[in-house]
Amino acid sequence: MKRRVQGRLRTAVVAGLCGLGAALCGIALWTGGPAHADVNGRTGEVLTYASPVEVLFSPDGTRLYVLCQGSAEVRVLDAASYAAIKNIAVGRVPRGFSLSADGKRLFVANSWDDTVSVIDTGTLEVAATWPVGAEPSSVVEDREGKQLFVANRISNDVAVLNAQTGAEEKRLAAGRGASYITPSPDGSRLYVTHVYPNFKPRRTGMENRTPPEAEITVIDTARAVVAERIPLHNIAHGFHVAFSTDGRLGVAAQLHPKNLVPLAHLEHSGAFADTLTLFGADVGKPVEIPLDELERYAVRPFGVAITADKSRIYVSCEGSEIVTVIDVERLLRFIHTHQGPYAQDLSASANYVVARIAVGHDPRGMVLSRDGKLLVANRLEDTLSVIDTRSNVLSKTVPLAGPKQLSVLRHGEQTFYTARYSFQGQIGCANCHIDSTFDGLTWDLEPDGFGRDIVDNRLLEDIKGTEPYKWNGGNPNLPTECGPRTEKYFWRAENYDDLTLTDLVVYVRSIPRRPNRWKLPGYELTPAQERGKALFMRTADKFGNPIPEGNRCSYCHSGSKGTSQKSFDVGTKKATDNTGLLDTPQLINVALTAPYLHDGSAATLEEIWTVFNPEDKHGRTNDLTKDELNDLIEYLRTR
Amino acid sequence: MRDGARAVWVAVCAALLLPVCGFAPDPAQSVGADFIVTAAPTYEPLAALRGQERFKKGAQLLLVHEGQAEPLVPGFAATADANVSFSAKKVLFAGKQAAGDAWQVWELTLKDHSVRKLTTGAADAIRPLYLPGGRMVYAQRTPFGFQLESARIDDRAATLAMEPAGTPAVLALTYMQASALPADVLADGRILFEAGFPLGSGATPELYLVYADGSGVESYRCDHGHARWGGRQLASGDVVFTHGASLARFTSPLAHEERVAAPHAEYVGAIAETAQGEWLVSARTAASAAYAVKLWNPGAPAMEAVLAESGENLVEPVLLAPRTWPHRHPSGLHPWDYANMLALDARLSRDGDLKGVPAQVRLEMEDAQGHAVAMGMAPVEKDGSFFVKVPGDKPIRFALLDAKGAVLRHEMGWFWIRSGEQRICVGCHTGPEHASENRVPAVLLRTTTPADLSVTGKAPQRSTGGN
């Protein structure tokens, strides 16, 4: 009893601290700071961190361009001294950038503004800002300077623009969450990865319990068409690709989840495999190789770089905060002399991983210099790690100008992205909440029983005020969700101290909602959205029969976030579910978060009503036509 | 002279002589910190795995300060098994106040040299190690040999709050009819322990792992066949141990042990790593000589003497210095008196391909008399998966059978699953290097209710083994 009281007291203390932190964050936002202004929760001072995510050298090697997501700018540094030359403001949450073939222009994908900034590298001024697709995440120009290719994360495609005017010419379908584009060394092909698993057409009804599938979309740049889709079986999240200079070896960084196996423990890579896919003439068919070891993991491989002499591959691993070094000759010898598959073999990496170099918090993009340096952008540390590739030793850490204090939000975000708190450092929050969002997967968590209560992962955006958490509503607040529950059933290792938990909770509560791409400027609704809204709000069906209050969309999905914060039985209980009483999920950016329902059994919003609502328990919808359901979807997309 | 009296005599002599003559340090050698070592006329390190006495002629813990050794706990008839707390303010040890006493676990506070007794049973309690979360693990003598137990040693409210409600003050961690001895607490919070291989039945010393709540027991590595004991984790995460009379190590990348190219000598027991990365080892160059403490810089061609004494084995050195706290394991056991086990693909094994298709799995439990009792059978799916409910906290083992009932593969030893534990095995002796494949096991598509093998519907039948 005494212990229970102490436990409650601890939760109450953390909740109180969270409230204080959140209040201070609220002050910062209220003062109208920039979208990514941060706050030191202990003083209320607004802080803006640089948060570097990508780094590039100018063609002559004299300048360094650093893409800073937090401060929304490109920082230009002297490549020798790292002295600042100029900071160039770009759009919100820039995620990717690249130089034109002639080096005269720098293109920046502004993911929250849906624009590309075109920077003149001679004047270091933004020469143009072009509207593009939804959540542009990387941008590459073809060798001839005719076309620009932009990966759009939300519209799951690659937009092809006229490189001189920015006019969009066509769209090419890519993987879900298309994000990173890498050209082949000769520029004839572009390789596009995506951060969410591909949608699966409904065939067996068990799509939510089959392995995720991803792809590398290969684009023929001359014809601007998709030339090939390299399938990545069992891969859910793809990140950077790199090529050897001879073009014979391609390497893609990726995450291989174990979401179909009950998550009972973490040892022996129980939750994720951190892997690379190798492709190209050197390997023949694509090969997946693991980076993890038996007791040491290379969590969330993100950036990849291959030395000019093809002797080494460098991989930045976000969660482990390291750069993994691979000996290419040993790697190729291994895959040519050992029969695969290798992804499940935790002793495989001993054959080719030759070093693991500690770098800063959340290492992301990397670039190699001509003189043998590897630069790594440490997003949550505002530093660049400089690694001497001859010795594979960290030779220097270059701080970027910015706040020196570690704010509540910053510390919380570092905690969210690191894997250090889990058993053997295997996973972090960001493993399942990619870039603080979701993962498009369903998981089988151990406490509910093996094979029981399969749960869809939910979006974290703007979740303040949507408690309780978990699909069964079993967790009353974030300190419980992120504290004891995470410690016991996810990390399988001791958790954070109270201050760290507080900072993490404040960060999670502050994760903003991405701009809604379906809302018109001024938040007017289209006619279809208006019709959908009327259906959402209706109190009687098409036949004039009143709809009981509890069976109206607007009753359960009430309020600005679309949740009444109560649990209901909407008739979706499966034989493997322990309860049919389910928490009402928020509707924030619901259009992005497929699959749907508590167990991810509905691949689309429409399936919620056409497949899983035969008795109208999940709202009165069986009187609606296909067109009306489309209207309803149009409205939901604005939430 | 009887052993007990001899032990007292040795201890008294040692206590009297040590301050006068001291041991023989090499003045040129500096370890960089004080250390504690066990001095014993005879040392049989593996005797405890057979339930026997390791220090038949007594033992005395010595504190070595700037090369000078003195008894760490004067007044005790015997002391051994020092383990320094993470803050280096206290020391756990096994001790006998009087020669006729059983070994008990004590804690010494270095500041005032006070001691307190932490175990009170009539049987021996040895090899204590600090655990995070205000507990310790040690080996308690039972009718089945030494078993690992965890005991609360810190009753402060903040410490108690870390434990799941209902956690007993003393918790059994091993459940088999063979001895186990804790060796180290790893950085990831698991307990490294020594026991015979095959577990629960064999005699070859091997290193195993278990979580601090007794769950998740497994071999550290599955390249069995060598005598491995005296494991100690280094700052790098590697585990160095005694392999026969030489040193070897486990590293994170490799699924098998790696020999340590140390100078030729006969090594015994765990090493201690200094802050500078050097190793304090206990070694001798001739079988007739006593073990002495030496310092070795890994890679160097030779060791340097630190402390030696003719006729006294100086073993089990531990540094008296703060060390990193291991992670605490938050127990996730359910309040059940049984356990569940899910095998993902029982066909997988380091032992090679099966000679048939497994159709069923048989569970056996070892009864108190050491007999194998058949608990029943459960189907094995085509993908090799099976899901069973088993008795918790009991020695169990599985055998795979084909459709005709012929045994295709069977476990050689015994293991246990804690009550309330839900265990997943990738295969049958696949080794820790084999990670799970991402697919729903077929058995869970058929049912989420495990086949109940936790009790037999009738009186348990004694297994005939084999087919």
Q: Does the CA dihedral A516-A519-A520-A524 come out positive or negative?
A: negative
Q: Where residue A588 sits, what CATH number does that domain have?
A: 1.10.760.10
- In this model, does residue B29 exceed pLDDT 70? no
On whether residue A84 sits in a domain, the answer given is no
Confidence at residue A111, expressed as pLDDT on a 0 to 100 scale: 98
The total number of structural domains in chain A stands at: 2
Q: Between A258, A267, A347, which is nearest B438 by CB?
A: A258
Residue of B nearest to A576 (CA): B448
Q: Between B161, B255, B447, which is nearest A3 by CB?
A: B161
The predicted model gives A572-579 an average pLDDT of 94
Q: Residues A629, A538: one domain?
A: yes
Check: CB of residue A85 under 8 Å from CB of residue A78: yes
Q: Residues B60, B186: one domain?
A: yes
Check: CB of residue B423 under 8 Å from CB of residue B417: yes
The predicted model gives A464-471 an average pLDDT of 93
Mutation pick from B217, B223, B438 vs chain A, by most beta carbons of A within 10 Å, is B438
Strand order in the sheet with A84-89: A52-57, A63-68, A73-78, A84-89
On whether residue B467 sits in a domain, the answer given is no
Which structural domain range is residue A489 located in? 11-47+407-510
Q: What length does chain B have?
A: 467
Measure the CA dihedral B64/B66/B70/B74, to 10°: -80
Task: Tell me the C-alpha distance between A23 and A468, whole Å.
Answer: 20
Kindly determine whether residue B332 and residue A446, on different chains, have CB atoms separated by under 8 Å: yes
Residue of B nearest to A348 (CA): B253
Task: Tell me the C-alpha distance between A591 and A604, whole Å.
Answer: 9
Kindly determine whether residue B448 and residue A449, on different chains, have CB atoms separated by under 8 Å: yes
Kindly determine whether residue B432 and residue A267, on different chains, have CB atoms separated by under 8 Å: yes
* A489 has a chain B CB within 8 A of its CB: yes
Q: Residues B313, B401: one domain?
A: no
How crowded is residue B426: how many other Cβ atoms within 10 Å of its Cβ?
A: 24
- In this model, does residue B444 exceed pLDDT 70? yes
Q: Residues A493, A551: one domain?
A: no
On whether residue B433 sits in a domain, the answer given is yes
The predicted model gives A216-239 an average pLDDT of 98
Q: What is the mean pLDDT of chain B?
A: 91
- In this model, does residue B260 exceed pLDDT 70? yes
With CA atoms as reference, report the closest residue to A94 among A83, A107, A84.
A107
- Give the pLDDT band of residue A33 (cuts 50, 70, 90): very low
Q: Which residues of B touch A10 (CB under 8 A)?
A: 161
On whether residue A17 sits in a domain, the answer given is yes
The predicted model gives B113-119 an average pLDDT of 97
Residue of B nearest to A423 (CA): B188
On whether residue B37 sits in a domain, the answer given is yes
Q: Residues A487, A538: one domain?
A: no
Q: Tens digits of per-residue pLDDT, A292-306?
A: 999 999 999 999 999
Q: Between A270, A294, A491, which is nearest B433 by CB?
A: A294
Q: Which residues of A touch B435 (CB under 8 A)?
A: 258, 268-270, 273, 290, 292, 343-346
Contact residues, A window 407-466, toward B, CB-based 8 Å cutoff? 423-424, 444, 446-447, 449-452
Kindly determine whether residue B327 and residue A493, on different chains, have CB atoms separated by under 8 Å: yes
Q: Residues B222, B354: one domain?
A: no
Task: Tell me the C-alpha distance between A426 and A297, whole Å.
Answer: 6
Confidence at residue B31, expressed as pLDDT on a 0 to 100 scale: 78
On whether residue A502 sits in a domain, the answer given is yes
| Both structure tokens of B62 | 């010595």
Q: Residues A531, A631: one domain?
A: yes
The predicted model gives A62-83 an average pLDDT of 98
Kindly determine whether residue B440 and residue A260, on different chains, have CB atoms separated by under 8 Å: yes
Confidence at residue B67, expressed as pLDDT on a 0 to 100 scale: 84
The predicted model gives B249-272 an average pLDDT of 96
Distance from CA of B435 to the nearest CA of A (A): 5
Q: Residues B299, B346: one domain?
A: no
With CA atoms as reference, report the closest residue to B415 among B402, B436, B429.
B429
Rg value, chain B, Cα: 23
Per-residue HEC secondary structure of chain B comes to CCHHHHHHHHHHHHHHHHHHHCCEECCCCCCCCCEEEEEECCCCCCHHHHCCCCCCCCCEEEEEECCEEEECCCCCCEEEEEEECCCCCEEEEEEECCCCCCCEEEEEECCCCEEEECCCCCCCEEEEEEECCCEEEEEEEECCEEEEEEEECCCCHHHHCCCCCCCCCEEECCCCCCCEEEEEECCCCCEEEEEEECCCCCCEEEEEEECCCCCCCEECCCCCCCCEEEEEECCCCCEEEEECCEEEEECCCCCCCEECCCCCCEECCCCEECCCCCEEEEEECCCCCCCEEEEECCCCCCCEEEEEECCEEEEEEEECCCCCCCCCCCCCCCCCCEEEEEECCCCCCCCCCCCCCCCEEEEEEECCCCCEEEEEEEECCCCCCEEEEEECCCCEEEEEECCCCCEEEECCCCECCCCCCEEEECCCCCCCCECCCCCCCHHHHHCCCCEECCCCCCCCEECCCCC
**Looking at residue A596, what DSSP letter applies?**
B
Domain boundary among A510, A538, A556: A510
Confidence at residue A205, expressed as pLDDT on a 0 to 100 scale: 85
Q: Residues A542, A614: one domain?
A: yes
Q: Which residues of A touch B254 (CB under 8 A)?
A: 294, 347, 350
Task: Tell me the C-alpha distance between A373 and A388, whole Å.
Answer: 5
Q: Which residues of A touch B447 (CB under 8 A)?
A: 451
- Beta pairing class for A105-110 and A94-99: antiparallel
Q: Which residues of A touch B133 (CB under 8 A)?
A: 494
Q: Tens digits of per-residue pLDDT, B184-234?
A: 999 999 999 999 999 999 999 999 999 999 999 999 999 998 899 999 999
- Give the pLDDT band of residue A3 (cuts 50, 70, 90): very low
Q: Tens digits of per-residue pLDDT, A175-194?
A: 999 999 999 999 999 999 99
Task: Tell me the C-alpha distance between A183 and B303, whole Å.
Answer: 56
Q: Residues A489, A542: one domain?
A: no
| Both structure tokens of A39 | 């706050």
Check: CB of residue A325 under 8 Å from CB of residue A357: yes
On whether residue A480 sits in a domain, the answer given is yes
Residues in CB range of B293: below 8 A, 6 or more apart: B35, B37, B64, B280, B281, B282, B305, B306, B307, B308, B314, B317
On whether residue A440 sits in a domain, the answer given is yes
Q: Residues B380, B287: one domain?
A: no
Q: Where residue B212 sits, what CATH number does that domain have?
A: 2.120.10.30
Distance from CA of B458 to the nearest CA of A (A): 27
Task: Tell me the C-alpha distance between A379 and B35, whole Å.
Answer: 43
Domain boundary among B319, B352, B376: B319
Domain boundary among A510, A543, A572: A510
Indicate the residue type of A303: G
Q: Residues A629, A535: one domain?
A: yes
Work out the percent of chain A whose per-residue pLDDT is above 70.
93
Q: Which residues of B touch A214 (CB under 8 A)?
A: none
In angstroms, the Cα distances linking A273 to A352, A597, B238 are 16, 27, 22
Indicate the residue type of A269: S
Q: Residues A500, A531: one domain?
A: no
Q: Tens digits of per-residue pLDDT, A442-460?
A: 999 988 899 999 999 999 9
Q: What length does chain A have?
A: 639
Burial of A145 (0-12, 13-18, 19+ CB in 10 A): middle
Confidence at residue B157, expressed as pLDDT on a 0 to 100 scale: 80
**Looking at residue A390, what DSSP letter applies?**
T
Kindly determine whether residue B432 and residue A346, on different chains, have CB atoms separated by under 8 Å: yes
The predicted model gives A376-398 an average pLDDT of 98
On whether residue B464 sits in a domain, the answer given is no
On whether residue B61 sits in a domain, the answer given is yes
Q: Between B330, B439, B450, which is nearest A260 by CB?
A: B439
* A205 has a chain B CB within 8 A of its CB: no
- In this model, does residue A383 exceed pLDDT 60? yes
- In this model, does residue A5 exceed pLDDT 60? no
Q: Which residue matches tokens 């679309």?
A: A562
Of A246-250, A521-525, B239-243, minimum mean pLDDT range: A521-525
Hey, which residues does B259 pair with through a beta bridge? Answer: B248
Residues in CB range of B342: below 8 A, 6 or more apart: A262, A264, A450, B385, B386, B387, B422, B423, B424, B425, B441, B443, B444, B450
Q: Where residue A31 sits, what CATH number does that domain have?
A: 1.10.760
On whether residue B109 sits in a domain, the answer given is yes
- Give the pLDDT band of residue A16 (cuts 50, 70, 90): low
HSE-up (13 A, CA, CB side) for residue A291: 36
Hey, which residues does A570 pair with through a beta bridge? Answer: none
Check: CB of residue B210 under 8 Å from CB of residue B193: yes
Q: Residues B265, B402: one domain?
A: no
- Give the pLDDT band of residue A28 (cuts 50, 70, 90): very low
Task: Tell me the C-alpha distance between A370 and A389, whole Å.
Answer: 11
In angstroms, the Cα distances linking B413 to A331, B140, B182, B398, B418 are 37, 21, 19, 9, 17
- Beta pairing class for B360-366 and A189-194: unpaired
**Looking at residue A567, what DSSP letter applies?**
E
Strand order in the sheet with A147-152: A136-141, A147-152, A157-162, A168-173
Confidence at residue A203, expressed as pLDDT on a 0 to 100 scale: 83
Kindly determine whether residue A495 and residue B330, on different chains, have CB atoms separated by under 8 Å: yes
Q: Is A84 helix (H, G, I), strand (E, B) or coil?
A: strand
Q: Does the CA dihedral B217-B223-B225-B227 come out positive or negative?
A: negative
Q: What is the mean pLDDT of chain A?
A: 92
On whether residue A32 sits in a domain, the answer given is yes
Q: Tens digits of per-residue pLDDT, A431-443?
A: 999 999 999 999 9
Task: Tell me the C-alpha distance between B322 and B338, whole Å.
Answer: 40
Confidence at residue A204, expressed as pLDDT on a 0 to 100 scale: 87
Task: Tell me the C-alpha distance between A597 and A582, whole Å.
Answer: 10
Q: Residues B136, B251: one domain?
A: yes
Confidence at residue A43, expressed as pLDDT on a 0 to 100 scale: 62
Q: Which residue matches tokens 């800073």?
A: A68
On whether residue B457 sits in a domain, the answer given is no
Confidence at residue B167, expressed as pLDDT on a 0 to 100 scale: 86
Q: Between A259, A273, A353, which is nearest B435 by CB?
A: A273
On whether residue A435 sits in a domain, the answer given is yes
Q: Which residues of B touch A209 (CB under 8 A)?
A: 440, 445
Q: Which residue matches tokens 């529950």?
A: A485
- In this model, does residue A18 exceed pLDDT 60? no
- In this model, does residue A398 exceed pLDDT 60? yes
Rg value, chain A, Cα: 24
Confidence at residue A27, expressed as pLDDT on a 0 to 100 scale: 38
The total number of structural domains in chain B stands at: 2
Q: Is A278 helix (H, G, I), strand (E, B) or coil?
A: strand
Which structural domain range is residue B399 located in? 338-452
Contact residues, A window 281-320, toward B, CB-based 8 Å cutoff? 290, 292-296
Question: In this predicted complex, what is the ipTM?
Answer: 0.91
Q: Which residues of B touch A235 (CB under 8 A)?
A: none
Measured distance between the N- and C-terminal CA atoms of chain B, rounded to whole angstroms: 53
Confidence at residue B24, expressed as pLDDT on a 0 to 100 scale: 60
Q: Between B436, B439, B444, which is nearest A211 by CB?
A: B439
Check: CB of residue A162 under 8 Å from CB of residue A107: no
Confidence at residue B456, expressed as pLDDT on a 0 to 100 scale: 65
| Both structure tokens of B136 | 């310790």
Dump the DSSP string for A185-233. TTSSEEEEEESSPPP---SSS-GGGS--EEEEEEEETTTTEEEEEEEEE
- Give the pLDDT band of residue B5 (cuts 50, 70, 90): low
Q: Residues B254, B107: one domain?
A: yes
On whether residue B14 sits in a domain, the answer given is no
On whether residue A218 sits in a domain, the answer given is no
The predicted model gives A411-421 an average pLDDT of 97
Q: Residues A499, A536: one domain?
A: no
- Beta pairing class for A373-378 and B104-109: unpaired
| Both structure tokens of B450 | 């495990």
* A82 has a chain B CB within 8 A of its CB: no
Q: Does the CA dihedral B369-B372-B378-B380 come out positive or negative?
A: positive
- Give the pLDDT band of residue B433 (cuts 50, 70, 90): very high
In angstroms, the Cα distances linking B368 to A222, B144, B175, B365, B372 are 77, 9, 11, 10, 10
Task: Tell me the C-alpha distance between B176 and B157, whole Å.
Answer: 33
